[in-house]
Amino acid sequence: MAITRFSINTRMALAVIALIICCAAIMAPVSAATKYLGGSPVFSASVTGTNEFTPGEDATISILVKNTGVSTMKQLNLGVIDYEDLPTTAKFVTVSLASPTDAIIIKSDPQMIGDVKADGTAATVQIKAKISANATTGEYQLPLTLAYKYSEDIHQEKADVYEYVYTNEEVTVPVTVRIKPEVKIAIVESNPDTIATGTEGYLRLTIRNIGPEDGTMATAKLVRSGSSAIIPTDSTVFIGDFPSGGVVNCSFKLTASTDATNQTYPVNVYVTYTNREGEVVTTETETIGIPVNAKTSFTVTSQEPSIAAGTSGTIEVTYRNNGNLTVYNAQSRLSPHGLVTLDNNLAFLGTIGAGESVTAQYDVVVDKAAEIGEYTFDSTLRYRDALGNSQESDTIAVTLQVLPAKQDTIAGLPISTIVIGIILVVIVAGIGLYAYRRKKSMQ
């Protein structure tokens, strides 16, 4: 097929046109872009949810951070790409909350929340804090510091090449937190009964409202502190109105557990009330120490009694109160043991003060078949404490010595010896009489 001049010229023309189009595509922008050349981030912060807290509370402060920056200059139809970072975008934002007062203690470390754009979006930060139990009512301004970077300057090297210059910035905005009034209790006087292990008694308290709030429908409650040996058994007292500065007297019943020892144990008290907003609120807990005396113990201090087998008699046993408390209406009991029995195994001892001793008497009968040696008896004391609680002591060992059976005597001599002597005398007398008669008959 022959190639004509027209065909060659046409192909050359198409090639030139294609080359022109490619050059134009390289040199001319493919799209129009808007460029922002001025402005910077502008932050505001506010507490979301509740901003009211009470003294002594472990609080979580939820803070909403917003960037309301506005671009002050823009340029249209320049370049082929949009900016990645606008001047109003805050990058790598770190938020930290501080407290200028001891009333609020901030527990959270600074938190990074990333980039915050000025497009109406916001970031929420959760800050842990402790409201001091001594914090006073009112509003507190807490400084919220935001550290970030933003593109302060943008250099356009070419139509599609930009150089960003970032600036470090730090701003502080106030955050308002309010501490609302509440009832705060103080124990003016604590007067517990003297109680011992396993017994119960009363605790009388005088409670004052030292807070700025007036409480209504108030109730005082006594509660066990952890695994304390003090256990409240009558633990609720209705107070009613409890105005600021008001004082009330309450009486609670409590028990010392059977594993309590000679020491002071804690018990907690708090007040629930209705505040001015109609909410039921619980005050901070106050802790009170309740002294407990160990269970009263007794020991035998008298010498070991003894009694002969085959006889009966009265033995004396002296008991000593080793405890710290006086016991009342005490009586002791001695248990029988085998061939050793008791005609009377109870003894009334009356009142025994701490460190005092009393003597009990028991009527003992020892069978003549009882083995010689020591016998140990179980003895217990039952008594009442100062509050009338009936108590029983631990078992106390009482030792009795059983002696050999006594022989019958006349004028201090055993009857058997006297009988043998009489027999000997009779024999001797008989022999003498026989000899005398024999001699006389021979005369």
Residues 6 or more apart whose CB falls under 8 angstroms from that of 171 comprise 43, 145, 146
Instruction: List, in order of start, the domains of the chain with CATH numbers.
Output: 35-179 (2.60.40.10), 185-293 (2.60.40.10), 298-403 (2.60.40.10)
Write the pLDDT tens digit of every residue in 34-56: 455 567 788 888 898 888 888 88
Q: What is the pTM of this model?
A: 0.60
Q: Which residues share a beta bridge with 282?
A: 272
Instruction: Name the token pair of 163.
Output: 């150089």
Write the pLDDT tens digit of every residue in 197-223: 888 899 999 999 998 899 999 999 999
Write the pLDDT tens digit of every residue in 329-365: 999 999 988 899 988 899 999 999 999 999 999 999 9
Strands, E assignment, 302-395: 306-308, 312-321, 327-334, 340-344, 346-352, 357-366, 373-384, 390-392
Residue type at position 423: I
**pLDDT at residue 425 in the model:** 80
Instruction: Name the token pair of 402.
Output: 């059983």
Residues 6 or more apart whose CB falls under 8 angstroms from that of 170 comprise 145, 146, 147, 148
CA–CA distances in Å: residue 153 to residues 102, 165, 369, 421: 42, 5, 119, 143
Write the pLDDT tens digit of every residue in 252-271: 999 999 899 999 999 999 99
